[in-house]
Structure 1
């Protein structure tokens, strides 16, 4: 028997195609697509949101819609564990749709309903519209509508007993933090990740004056922390090169090299360049080495804006050799970046335990290699923006056991703005996201950093 004609379906599809999109629909669609790319394909969020080379749909949006996408994805990722548990409670069985598109649409909608100041009606309506226009999600548009409307009616009963700190952290990460820091501290770290990081600036001079000008406060070892976020390039002092963006914790490792004026200093794995700027501003003759040419281009642009100079080298440290030894070396080794989850909420969902192991091997190789480039009496600071012991304390312990001629120079509170809670019993620097949380009503916290200062004798 011949297949019957389907004029009604075609006509309906045509009507759907001709119907104008509701305001905000494109932003929600892009948000769900990017969320899927992050959690299913493990693509870094920064790459997806790059306005030059990122997601094509995102690049096509107006500025206000881009901001909305960032807010939605940020909330969806920071609260991903909670949202997943909510859906478990709302769904009788798993959704068989294999690409994850339906779940992405639901996560985007729930993030708006529960964690952003967006009315339920708009969130539900746009989610249903999205499901209706997506061939993978279309069979489930009724489910999307029903689940979200039920959440709107019963949100208190469904959400009141959620253990947010535990749910929003993958098991392997929470177990690692509990083993290293204890459960109370692990929960404090997880809680800090629910809040977006403040905008921190490292200034060339007079941080108190710049804090007053920009409406912020001085924190840590002289960082200016702003009370509000906005377009960085519109802030006073940007064009004049008076400061650069750098988390308060990220500014600490370079300080451990002490007085470096006139000294030959290497900044290894230098991009994005905040530490390069610090070293150059302190009067050092800096050689900045990184494997990424594109990221070094930005380092060069920032140095030009800041009226600072450094020799820029694009090379793999495993192949590059310096012309002569250095007085000091700063090795900001490639790492899992689990200390930067406040700024990069995708990290828990794109990293795996195996990634930590592979990175630890690279870190060990680089540390041993570059240690041979240091003059006798010189200082080597090894640092990572990781909370994992294997990328910090474990690396230094193994290095000191295997490589003779080095000793630890303990970090002193006065070197890091009096942050004595950030110094370990071994004399290492260890900042946590839950440190420095009360800052004159400004968003608090620090990136999680580890740093050890070694002297060659």
Structure 2
């Protein structure tokens, strides 16, 4: 083990204040919450849906409310800071410790650096956890030394952007968007996202923005700084808004006024874009292959008192021959653009996933093209930062389908939707990077394609 630096005679560094978790613990919440956090982290790193599945298991639900809150906060912060934490551990150990020790060091470092947990509680509870298992017990002294060393040297105060995300993804972003943008994307991992809402009408947004402590973002989007159960927020019971990231709302927003038009949302769940198109005046068909996910669509429709034709079916093979004025395809993707809300996605994604998903998107786009009326619109979008799922996909589609052309949004449309000019590509598509909007947003690729008449 590398020697731990002696304390220097200077004030101890303050804990970083960016997006602090609001869970306070002096050690009383206890071991069960920390053990649960370790389970959540393992599940998230094992597979893409692991975190969501783990929080629905009976052993997690059997915890008290405070234990569940603490465990989720702790696990999510580890996933946000995973690259930084692993780099620190690597620097402070001459030989990589076993997985159990590594996991304990992660949760100990996060509590010291980024949670409102007293240092003594962070260190002592982590050491006690080490004492519980034979494979970690011999390393409790090392764990204690490393955590106390991190308290003294302030290493947690110095995140290096290039080490926050998996290296293979950071290098892809650097090649695609340049080093400065790649660093901007990665640094968004350290920020806890606010809650964005989409409204049915401008009047509803204006009426409730102050009560929701909200900042209008363009279009019918509002960013709320409130916390807690959204069911208790103003307007929820009225059904005048729904949760939807500001970047996600741009896709349907490009279609403008849809009064008297027909529209289909091909991968509709959870339904935010369908609700937008209905509110814009369209008669909407909401299609999704998942019965369980369609329940979310139906619940959102019921709460907002909006109506749509809800259909379970595969967007690629659905046999309905109708054509629509507007077709929206938010295709299944790697979801690397959702890193602010779902940092686990970055660590569970593999390079081979991107190629497989790009093939799915290719087929879905071909199928979607036949559902567009002559003169109608096809909006293709993905919450991915990978070019194979965005720019490359659309260029290949246009070669296969010369009857389509990109409709470039004008300056007035971009301003109305709160889209910065830097997000507009020369070809007319939008590449919304997470750091393009103050406070962050999901990373999205969006292309508005129009089918020529004739």
TM-score > 0.5 by shorter chain: yes
Distance 1:41 1:453, change over 3 A: closer
Alignment of 1:267-346 (within 5 A): 267-346=265-344
Give the 3-state SS of the residue equivalent to 1:174 in structure 2: helix
Q: Indicate the residue corresponding to 2:124 in structure 1.
A: 125
Q: Is the CA contact 2:321–2:371 (under 8 Å) kept in the aligned structure 1?
A: no
CA change 1:41–1:215 in 2 (3 A) is closer
- Name the structure 1 match of 2:186: 190
* Corresponding residue for residue 260 of structure 1: 258
Q: Which has the larger radius of gyration?
A: 1
Residues 345-404 of structure 1: CA deviation (Å, up to 9, x unaligned):
111101011111111110011001110111111110000011111111111100101122
**Match for residue 370 of structure 1?**
368
The size of the alignment, in residue pairs, is: 421
Structure 2 residue 451 is the aligned partner of structure 1 residue 453: no
Residues in 1 aligned to 2:86 and 2:393: alpha-carbon distance in whole angstroms? 35
Partner in structure 2 of residue 353 of structure 1? 351
Instruction: Quote the offset at 1:159 in angstroms.
Output: 4.7
Which deviates more from structure 2 when the two are superposed, residues 119-128 or residues 131-140?
131-140
In the alignment, the residues of structure 2 paired with residue 222 and residue 262 of structure 1 have an alpha-carbon distance, to the nearest angstrom, of 20
Specify the alignment match of 1:250 in structure 2.
Answer: 248
Secondary structure at the aligned position of 1:241 is classed as coil
Residue of structure 2 aligned with 1:404, choices 396, 402, 405: 402
Q: Aligned Cα RMSD in Å?
A: 1.8
Q: 1:302 to 1:393 in 2, by over 3 A?
A: same
Supply the distance in 2 between the matched residues of 1:305 and 1:55 (Cα, whole angstroms). Answer: 27
What are the superposed Cα offsets for residues 320-358 of structure 1, whole Å, 9 maximum, x if unpaired? 122411111000000111111011111110101111111
CA contact (8 A) 1:34 1:55 kept: no
Give the aligned partner of residue 103 of structure 2: 104
TM-score, scaled relative to structure 1? 0.88
Q: Does 1:422 align with 2:417?
A: no
For the residues of structure 2 that align with 1:264 and 1:176, how far apart are their CA atoms? 39
Whole-angstrom distance in 2 between the partners of 1:413 and 1:294: 40
Q: Distance in 1 between matches of 2:286 and 2:100?
A: 43
SS in 2 for 1:200: strand
Q: Does the 8 Å CA contact 1:36/1:101 hold for their aligned counterparts?
A: no
1:166–1:243 Cα change, 3 Å: same
Rounded Cα–Cα distance in structure 2 between residues aligned with 1:56 and 1:131: 25
2:88 counterpart (86, 89, 92): 86
For 1:295 and 1:81, how far apart are their aligned partners in 2? 32
Note if contact 1:45-1:344 (Cα within 8 Å) is conserved in structure 2: no
Where 1:251 maps in the other structure, the secondary structure is helix
Deviation at 1:298, TM superposition (A): 1.1
Aligned to 1:47: 53
Moved more, 243-252 or 124-133: 124-133
> Aligned pair 1:432/2:430, yes or no?
no
List, as ranges, runs of 4+ consecutive aligned residues in structure 1 with deviation greater than 6 Å. none
CA contact (8 A) 1:188 1:434 kept: yes
Q: Report the counterpart of residue 37 of structure 2 in structure 1.
A: 31
Output the CA distance in 2 between the equivalents of 1:29 and 1:146: 21
SS in 1 for 2:211: helix
Relative to structure 1, the CA distance from residue 204 to residue 159 in structure 2 (aligned partners, 3 Å threshold; closer, same or farther) is closer
| Distance of 2:262 and 2:49 partners within structure 1 | 38
Is the partner of 2:96 in helix, strand or coil?
Answer: coil
Write out aligned runs for 1:381-392 (5 A). Answer: 381-392=379-390
413 and 193 in structure 1: CA distance in 2 versus 1, 3 angstrom threshold: farther
Matched, 1:227 2:225: yes
TM-score w.r.t. length of structure 2: 0.89
In structure 1, list runs of 5 or more residues that go unmatched.
1-20, 438-443
Shift of 1:446: 1.4
What is the alpha-carbon distance in structure 1 between the residues aligned to residue 52 and residue 218 of structure 2? 27
Q: Partners of 2:49 and 2:376 in 1: how far apart?
A: 39
Uncovered stretches (5+) of structure 2, i.e. residues with no partner: 1-26
C-alpha contact (below 8 Å) 1:189/1:432 kept by paired residues:
yes
Mapped to 2, the partners of 1:208 and 1:275 lie a distance apart of 21
Instruction: Please give the alpha-carbon distance, in whole angstroms, between the structure 2 residues aligned to 1:211 and 1:295.
Output: 29
